[in-house]
Structure 1
Amino acid sequence: MASDTAAVLCFGNPVRYWRRVMCHHRLPGRACGRGVMMRRLPLLADMALMLLFAGLTISVLGVRFLNSPNMPTGGDTASHVLYAWHYAKELLFSGNILPWMPEVFGGFPFLSYYFPLPFIIIAVLAKGLGFSVAFKWGAFAAAMLLPGLVQVLGRRWFSLPWPASIFGAVGAFAFLLHEQNSIWGGNLLSTLSGEFTYSYGVLFAVLACFAWSRASETRGGWIVAALLEAATGYCHGFPLLVVGFSTVVLLVENSNFRRTAWLLVRGHLLAFCLLGGWLWPMLEMHGYTIANDASWALSSWGDLFPLGLRPVFVAGGVCLPVCLLSERVHAAITSQQARAMRYLMAAAALACLGYLAGEQLGLANIRFFPMVWLFAAIVCGWLVGIVISVLAAGNGRGSLLSRTMLTLALCLGVLGWLAQTVRKAPDWSLWNHAGFESKPQWHNLSKIFPAMHGTLWSPRLVFEHDPTNNDLGSTRALEALPLFIGRPVLEGLYMESALLCPAVYLLQSEVSAQPSSPLVRFPSGRLDPPRAAEHMNFLHADTLLLRSEQAKNAVEASGLFEKTAESPPFAVYRLRNFTSHLAQVVTQPIRVRPQKEWLEDSFAWFRTHNRFQSYLPVYGAPAGLQAAPAATVVRTLSLERHRMHFATDSVGSPHLIKVTWHPRWRLGSAGSLYKAGPGFMLVVPREHDIILEYGHTPIGIAGMAATTLSAAFVIFWQGWGKRQQADASAPVVAGGGFHPIRQAIFWGTVIVAGFWFATQSPEQLYRRAHAKLLAKQYDAATSLFLRSFNGRRIPARKEEALFWLAKSYEQADQKNAAMKRYRQLTGVYDGQWVPENLYAYVRLGREAGQAVQVEPYARRLIDEYPDSSWAKKLIWK
């Protein structure tokens, strides 16, 4: 009887259901043909709904714009196109899946720390569509497929009634269209801003969660789940974290703990091996990145409840008590469907926990929250559809018609609501996909391309950051210049992957009236052409592209640059005394520095004028390393992306190779290879040839082997599984029923952990401390600042909290405690608070009669920060 009820719920009309069942037998003639058609109807309906939702997404973006041959721009997309173009045209199909790119940042390991699968998809599409069209369709393919796949798998994997599967897809579609933010990820605005890899990540995360929720019910289900989990990892890291941790729910749901644990071990191990060629070396070399651990504070609670998703959440909230309290509805929900909904809600809760804990874990907290919205929207849609299917069910065509009309009316209502809330996406799509060529200032910029043109190994180009560059399509548009002028630039998109980027962004601030200052840990400077000239020469950059009048006037007044081309508002300048070579003998004094926190030490050296002039820091070298007594010419024999060959007569002397150091660079000739400031390679050759080769580490080779073997295992299992069709539907782990004690423990733990992370957030403590300081409640302020300092992970943020801790002690007239904290900051940190901190420490010391003791700190302030207002204030006093 229960199966008959399920049949009615799933197929609407019992007569059609039994016809469908009967047509599984081979009937002669027309009856069998009609049975085949009946079996195909659900498939045709699934395909039609997938096309419908994809078409709705395309209608928002504009199909004419997607098919435009112009190069896309807008947000980070303007920079992404450079890497995607080279990957599609040159790198991927020559076997360089994780290549080295000298075009930006003095060279960096493209896709070693970013996500390769979306770029591979775009490269494959480019073979048939052309690059520009392939990039646009490839960037939005995941968004187009998401609602349709939610509908299809809801039907086929969980046997949801049609209204439920459709409303689940509507919930996913509402998630795509919400416009609450444009950087958190997943929605169309975020994808238009350049976050297309995250769109792929959430697509595969949904599919992986679907697969894991049913993995215990079908033989081989864990392999499908592992494949989708690996695909998630190849697209984005944050969805992978949510998928991985969400599987703990299976231990709560299933009765057989041991067999479930073994299922999870096998699945995660297979996913880990499938990811081996990319993930293993990334984990090995993750320490050689710039952490992206900035956090975002909410402007209001409305940020967590996007306008476009509110009807979905309200409808789901209304239907949830109906599902729980109505015996009829509750009985219609199968254990498989209930388990899938509990799984998705648990995954959403864990994503929310990741958002709350992100600051303290050193992760970008906003990357977790889109999955809260998406999973909740899908479950809400399912609840609404189930309630409609059950309460409007009956015998006959009338009930089917009523359900159909009600489903259609509610879908149209939600779509109508969404149509009123979608205001930005169509305009953004027009702006992006009309391309560089249509932008107001592109014509003027392209006029000076010949003056900037070069080769891959020409000296690098530096450009000014200016917010008005948005009239080129994006403020990041100039990062794509190598695509148009053929020569490398210093600044690029994937700043976390390039060890040279702290120095690059410092130089950017020295040539910009309005610098971007994107790195929290490494403070920028100010417009300073003389310092910029020194740094450009050291970083092997001889050409400067400016836009603002302030920067142009300052550069021309310095006399250090020569204007070579102009097309207002842009002007090109060349450094007059450019003496740099890609490889050169080091004659400057060398100072061997410890490896610990070498990047911070290197940046402090590069930023501090007297240190930069005095020595070259080298890391990991023997203590006796000495500079050469005189410079000799280093000859360049060959330069390729993954191999450089030089010849030198200064055997045994250190040579600075002005290419970013990375563990995958190996010395193919006799000698030693070290890191040098601000992130270059330093070679001490033992023969006349210097050969550098970019290859794979042993762990990277092991990872590639693991990926190959695990892929072979999956192929073997697929063939073996087809021969085992008789057992394909047999459960491998007993699903069990609802376990209230386990559920209570799980949800209680999540709630308690969430409350703790929310209330103990270092950023919340920091904001409360400032409020107490303004209220002159100094004891409370010092306590909160201390807790914030201890809880923060980012050095720049810890420095900030420590400074205000010292300041609150000073305000409380606890001068000794204040001086202790000021001294602590000066000895440990080297960020933006140091000049003011030095000034405060020196002032308090002099007031306390300790002028002699604080004199070295006064001298440091004047020598290292001569242009700061605090140094001038100290001199004036």
Structure 2
Amino acid sequence: MRLSRLAVVLGFIAIYGTLFSFFKPDLIFSATTTAGGDTGAHHYIADFLIHNLLPKGRITGWSPGWYMGFPMLHFYFPLGFLAIAAMSTVIKYQIAFKIGTLLGVFLLPATTYAAFKVLDFKFPFPLIASGFTLPFLFMESYSIYGGNILSTLAGEFGYSLSFSLLILFLALLYRDIKEQKFRVSTGVLLAMVVLSHVVTTIMALAFSTYFLLNKLNVKRFAILAGVFVLGFLLTAFWSLPFAAKIGYTAHMQWDQLQGINEILPDPLRPFIALSALGILGAIIRRDSRMYIFLWTFVMSVALFFLVPPGRLWNGRVVPFFYYFSFIWAAYGIWFLRRVLAGLFYDYVLLPKRYADYAVAAIAVAVVVGNVFGTSQTATAWINWNYSGFEGKAHWNDFNAINKYIKSLPPGRVMVEHSSKIDTFGTPRAFELLPYFAGHPTIEGTLMEASISAPFHFINQAELSKEPSCAILGIRYPQLNVADGVRHLQLYNIDYFLALSNEVKTQAEKDHDLALLKKFKVRGTDMEFALYKVNTDGYVVIPKYMPLMVDTKDWRATALAWYSKPKLFDVPPLVDANQARALKDSFRTVSADLEGTVQHEPARKGRITNVRIIDDGLDFTTSAIGVPHLIRISYFPNWKVEGADGPYLASPTIMMVVPRQRHVHLYFGETWSDTAGRVLSDIAWLFVAAYALMFAVRKISSLRSSSQPEDAGQGDSTGFAKERSA
């Protein structure tokens, strides 16, 4: 083995030995249910994919478990969950989940090393760069932006995976354009980036503008376009519906980070001088291989300050600046290696031919020492997450609540928000009611994916002592259990689990709540009370005829309506653009809801045989031609047989007008689903055919090379030469 290869092996042993000293194998390979932050709630997503979607040959679909139903994995990133699903076929699900959440963390040193090998850097720079991913991974100045270990443990494991893949993608794209050679593998890797996080996809587009500004010609542009077109086509089954239906999400509004301290936190500052030296060194050496990383470095800073308030949070951009700061610091050390070689020779008589090995060894040793010297939080977080729900002191109490709810008749469960719930493993523990108890709950991790999320958080504010108020830009009400229960009834939420004394005191006085059971959490002051809510079902005939509402902003109009309890019996519909066929059937009001207090009674009827499945609903009615409300969140994929609709009704439920006694609703496809699926099928067939052709050529080449060069050729006497023994 060459000495440089041995050095790389030893370097990786040090790097991954450091990771495994924190992520202890006996913890990762134990069959406990991962807890902690958003990560703990992701079990429902993985479980639903494995047991509901994949058996139907689907990756996206409709889930009833959160937010009165929501489009599962339509607006979230499936690759990490697909990896978990694949691994769960050969190892226990709980272990597969743990490994899946850590893929990005453990891939980053390897993809960083591979990226700089692709760029034709010689030893020791790829190893030094790989080592310098450790201080980035173990940064403790933030825990939610993405990329580092704390963010991964908090729930951003899709970001970490995509981040790791993006680094290698940039290097491969640089190589392809430089060599003016289109490679299918680069497009496939881009597809993997896209399917694991949208922010890294945006950054891939932003960073790739470098190639538009650097020696662009027709062939280079064709390669760049080809890679991105292939990446889009491979992901079109997901990305096209994502783009087409983005309007049916929660419309998150982020407050942007500000100030230089966000860009230059304390853990990064010791490396800044080396980063500056690295940038200077690349400019002096005219090392064009590093210019793309200079571009990404500058773009990260620019986007941080220029991204306006809205759906894209500039905090997601910050990890790129941090990461490339460490990479430039590694380059600074590499740039100094000749100076360091002279010092080694002068002071320790180390021959200069061994200087690179000494530089690599010292660099890796320094960053490993930095990790052990500065990491104060990672160990506790890792132990908390991967010891699982079962490893928590109050697992038995949590399990008892789940078992009782599981024994109840089907129905949605609303839970009071409280930081105290973290004692079970995460504040989001009860988001796993669909997983542990088989009952849908209301809140879920994927709040951005649901049109109903803003209305849930209003309910939460009315029914919680310490609500999260998670979606900005909404006027949240004060604690008011009576109004909260009325809202629960609108959404057919059957159960309410309360914790605080303030909420329970009001709940005891509400005639629409009936106490079922109390649950004392031993050794604490926590006592949950579970109530049955007086509800009237998933399918109802409204007391009064609905109204058409003339609005350009349904969400704002519905929020205004939701804040006025006197209007609850008169749900306005979306305007004529969404329910054009009903324009002449119902009275139309303006977006300010003037006139909506005038009630027109609806004809009564009898609804029977209501049957609900994950992605469908059937019922029989005697009230043909009368509007029926379906208390499931609206989404364009919903179709109906035997009725007109479904139409979007306030706040975010569906309305149908039956044309026969038997009505069937089902979750189908829109044009974007069909078109995306067809495009992706064609693209993946192309990739499969290309891979097959490549394999055939490779096998043929290996067979040819295994034949002796002179086989079958005669010597001067006309006899074939014999093979030497």
Band of TM-score, shorter chain = 0.7 to 0.9
Q: Distance in 2 between matches of 1:386 and 1:263?
A: 32
Shifted more, 368-377 versus 384-393: the winner is: 384-393
Q: Displacement of 1:544 after TM fit?
A: 1.0
CA deviations on 1:766-816 (whole Å, 9 max, x unpaired) are xxxxxxxxxxxxxxxxxxxxxxxxxxxxxxxxxxxxxxxxxxxxxxxxxxx
CA deviations on 1:108-160 (whole Å, 9 max, x unpaired) are 001100101011001111122212111111101111011122113322x1221
Q: Displacement of 1:566 after TM fit?
A: 1.0
Does the residue aligned with 2:528 lie in a helix, a strand or coil? strand
Does the residue aligned with 1:151 lie in a helix, a strand or coil? helix
CA deviations on 1:392-413 (whole Å, 9 max, x unpaired) are 3899992233331232123212
CA deviations on 1:428-462 (whole Å, 9 max, x unpaired) are 0111111112323332233233432258x922111
2:268 paired residue number = 309
Report the AA paired with residue 359 of structure 2: L
1:573 paired residue number = 530
1:815 paired residue number = none
CA deviations on 1:847-876 (whole Å, 9 max, x unpaired) are xxxxxxxxxxxxxxxxxxxxxxxxxxxxxx
1:550 paired residue number = 502
* 2:229 is the alignment partner of 1:276: no
* 2:172 is the alignment partner of 1:211: yes
Q: Displacement of 1:721 after TM fit?
A: 5.3
Does the residue aligned with 2:460 lie in a helix, a strand or coil? helix
CA deviations on 1:709-732 (whole Å, 9 max, x unpaired) are 12222333345557889xx9xxxx
Does the residue aligned with 1:392 lie in a helix, a strand or coil? helix
Q: Displacement of 1:570 after TM fit?
A: 3.1
| Structure 2 counterparts to residues 651-690 of structure 1, below 5 A | 651-690=624-663
Structure 1 residues 149 and 485: alpha-carbon distance in aligned structure 2, compared to 1, 3 A threshold: same
* 2:524 is the alignment partner of 1:524: no
Q: Displacement of 1:362 after TM fit?
A: 4.4
Q: Distance in 2 between matches of 1:460 and 1:454?
A: 13
Q: Distance in 2 between matches of 1:81 and 1:403?
A: 46
Report the AA paired with residue 368 of structure 1: V
Partners of 1:243 and 1:347 within 8 A in 2: no
Structure 1 residues 719 and 217: alpha-carbon distance in aligned structure 2, compared to 1, 3 A threshold: farther
CA deviations on 1:452-482 (whole Å, 9 max, x unpaired) are 2258x92211110011112122211111122
Structure 1 residues 567 and 284: alpha-carbon distance in aligned structure 2, compared to 1, 3 A threshold: same
2:719 paired residue number = none
1:347 paired residue number = 296
Among 57, 64, 67, the residue aligned to 2:29: 67
1:249 paired residue number = 210
1:461 paired residue number = 413
CA deviations on 1:468-507 (whole Å, 9 max, x unpaired) are 1121222111111221111111111111111111221111
Q: Distance in 2 between matches of 1:421 and 1:114?
A: 34
2:142 paired residue number = 181
1:515 paired residue number = 467
Q: Distance in 1 between matches of 2:34 and 2:317?
A: 28
Structure 1 residues 42 and 85: alpha-carbon distance in aligned structure 2, compared to 1, 3 A threshold: farther
Among 199, 213, 219, the residue aligned to 1:238: 199
Q: Distance in 2 between matches of 1:671 and 1:716?
A: 45
Does the residue aligned with 1:162 lie in a helix, a strand or coil? coil
CA deviations on 1:565-613 (whole Å, 9 max, x unpaired) are 112223333346x242111222323111135211221121112122225
Report the AA paired with residue 420 of structure 1: G
Q: Distance in 2 between matches of 1:695 and 1:389?
A: 65
Q: Distance in 1 between matches of 2:601 and 2:664?
A: 20
1:434 paired residue number = 387
Shifted more, 618-627 versus 211-220: the winner is: 618-627
Q: Displacement of 1:425 after TM fit?
A: 0.7
Partners of 1:644 and 1:693 within 8 A in 2: yes
Report the AA paired with residue 396 of structure 2: H
Partners of 2:37 and 2:155 within 8 A in 1: yes
Report the AA paired with residue 558 of structure 1: D
Does the residue aligned with 1:423 lie in a helix, a strand or coil? coil
1:291 paired residue number = 251
Report the AA paired with residue 214 of structure 1: R
Partners of 2:80 and 2:196 within 8 A in 1: yes
1:564 paired residue number = 516
Partners of 1:292 and 1:364 within 8 A in 2: no
Q: Distance in 2 between matches of 1:650 and 1:388?
A: 84
Partners of 1:533 and 1:560 within 8 A in 2: yes
| Structure 2 counterparts to residues 785-800 of structure 1, below 5 A | none
1:646 paired residue number = 619
1:451 paired residue number = 404
Structure 1 residues 134 and 721: alpha-carbon distance in aligned structure 2, compared to 1, 3 A threshold: closer
Q: Distance in 2 between matches of 1:195 and 1:135?
A: 14
Partners of 1:61 and 1:425 within 8 A in 2: no
Q: Distance in 2 between matches of 1:62 and 1:674?
A: 52
Counting helix residues as a fraction of each chain, which structure ranks higher?
A: 1
Name stretches of at least 5 consecutive residues in structure 2 with no aligned partner.
521-525, 587-599, 702-725
Report the AA paired with residue 648 of structure 2: K
Structure 1 residues 316 and 198: alpha-carbon distance in aligned structure 2, compared to 1, 3 A threshold: same
1:153 paired residue number = 115
Among 642, 663, 667, the residue aligned to 1:694: 667
Q: Displacement of 1:281 after TM fit?
A: 0.8
Structure 1 residues 260 and 724: alpha-carbon distance in aligned structure 2, compared to 1, 3 A threshold: farther
Q: Displacement of 1:658 after TM fit?
A: 0.8
Q: Distance in 2 between matches of 1:122 and 1:419?
A: 30
1:792 paired residue number = none
Structure 1 residues 214 and 565: alpha-carbon distance in aligned structure 2, compared to 1, 3 A threshold: same
* 2:356 is the alignment partner of 1:403: yes
Among 687, 695, 703, the residue aligned to 2:676: 703
Partners of 2:255 and 2:309 within 8 A in 1: no
Partners of 1:538 and 1:580 within 8 A in 2: no
* 2:358 is the alignment partner of 1:358: no
* 2:91 is the alignment partner of 1:129: yes
Q: Share of identical aligned residues, percent?
A: 24
Shifted more, 371-380 versus 540-549: the winner is: 371-380
Q: Distance in 2 between matches of 1:207 and 1:314?
A: 26
Does the residue aligned with 2:88 lie in a helix, a strand or coil? helix
Q: Distance in 2 between matches of 1:104 and 1:361?
A: 24
* 2:554 is the alignment partner of 1:598: yes
Does the residue aligned with 2:417 lie in a helix, a strand or coil? coil
Structure 1 residues 119 and 465: alpha-carbon distance in aligned structure 2, compared to 1, 3 A threshold: same
Report the AA paired with residue 323 of structure 2: L
1:140 paired residue number = 102
Q: Displacement of 1:248 after TM fit?
A: 1.9
Q: Displacement of 1:637 after TM fit?
A: 5.3
Name stretches of at least 5 consecutive residues in structure 1 with no aligned partner.
1-36, 729-877
Does the residue aligned with 2:308 lie in a helix, a strand or coil? helix
Shifted more, 706-715 versus 484-493: the winner is: 706-715
Structure 1 residues 608 and 47: alpha-carbon distance in aligned structure 2, compared to 1, 3 A threshold: farther
Q: Distance in 1 between matches of 2:32 and 2:99?
A: 13
Q: Distance in 1 between matches of 2:68 and 2:76?
A: 18
Partners of 1:589 and 1:616 within 8 A in 2: no
Structure 1 residues 526 and 441: alpha-carbon distance in aligned structure 2, compared to 1, 3 A threshold: farther
Partners of 1:71 and 1:435 within 8 A in 2: yes
Q: Displacement of 1:76 after TM fit?
A: 0.6
Partners of 2:230 and 2:683 within 8 A in 1: yes
Report how many residues are paired.
673
1:583 paired residue number = 539
| Structure 2 counterparts to residues 14-53 of structure 1, below 5 A | 49-50=11-12, 52-53=14-15
Among 435, 438, 442, the residue aligned to 1:483: 435
Partners of 2:389 and 2:424 within 8 A in 1: yes
Q: Displacement of 1:522 after TM fit?
A: 2.2
CA deviations on 1:359-396 (whole Å, 9 max, x unpaired) are 25642111111112213322331342243168638999
CA deviations on 1:595-632 (whole Å, 9 max, x unpaired) are 52112211211121222255554543323435774432
* 2:469 is the alignment partner of 1:506: no
Structure 1 residues 608 and 135: alpha-carbon distance in aligned structure 2, compared to 1, 3 A threshold: same
- The alignment yields a C-alpha RMSD, in angstroms, of 2.6
